[in-house]
Homo-oligomer: A and B are copies of this chain.
Amino acid sequence: MKSLGAKTLVYTAPVWIVGSYDAAGKPNGMAVSWGGICCSQPPCLSVALRKATHSYASLDGKGDFTVSVPSETQVVAADYFGIASGRETDKFRDTGLTPAKSALVDAPYVAEFPLVYECRVRHKLEIGLHTLFVGEILDVKVSEAALGADGHPDIEKLRPFVFLAGPRAYHGIGKRLGKAFEIGKKPRG
């Protein structure tokens, strides 16, 4: 094994757009890859934000936020949400995307993105450069276009993608390898 040092060198990080209203009521979104599900009951997800970001104050104050998950075809807009700052511009206007007001929480989501989590902050943990916000998932919403025949999201229609920290690149989701909690029942095949 070759040592690469103490780094955040991760190869399957999500690309999530955290939506919130700022103090002036302007909708904002920021791309976050330091995040994930962190509890099954109550269902919670976590997102890590730097204090310097415009979104930090919204999550720290109001405590309501959304997570919108982009599809492959929306990767350019998603990347923009990780480049620009809501302090200086309106990223929804710049990308031509629609900030839809959630009916459950006081936060906007990206109306054109196929998968949305509506969340309320339950915990805040200061770690270092980043602060972790744990949000309870109050609802998950999926676009009709991403639904499969069985009423569940269809991965081929959803087409989410991941961020690779090493090459700093986005990659799509590849082929199905097998069913979880099933293929390993005989660990040596």
Contacts and interface: CB of A to CB of B under 8 A. Distances in A.
Interface of A: 1-15, 33-46, 48, 50, 69, 72, 75-84, 91, 94-96, 115-116, 122-123, 125, 127-130, 132, 134, 136-144, 147, 152-153, 155, 158, 160-189
Contacts of A94: 187-188
Contacts of A134: 125, 127, 132
A56 to B, nearest CB: 14
A188 B14 contact: no
Contact of A127 (B36, B123, B171, B178): B123
Copies of this protein, total: 2
B164 A44 contact: no
A67 to B, nearest CB: 10
A81 B180 CA distance: 11
B171 A130 contact: no
A144 to B, nearest CB: 6
Given A12-B12, A39-B127, A165-B37, A2 B144 contact: yes
What 5 pairs across the A-B complex have the smallest Cβ distances? A79-B184, A172-B174, A80-B184, A36-B36, A80-B187
Contacts of A180: 79, 82, 163, 168-170
A9 B155 contact: no
B175 A153 contact: no
A4 B171 contact: no
Contact of A166 (B75, B84, B152): B152
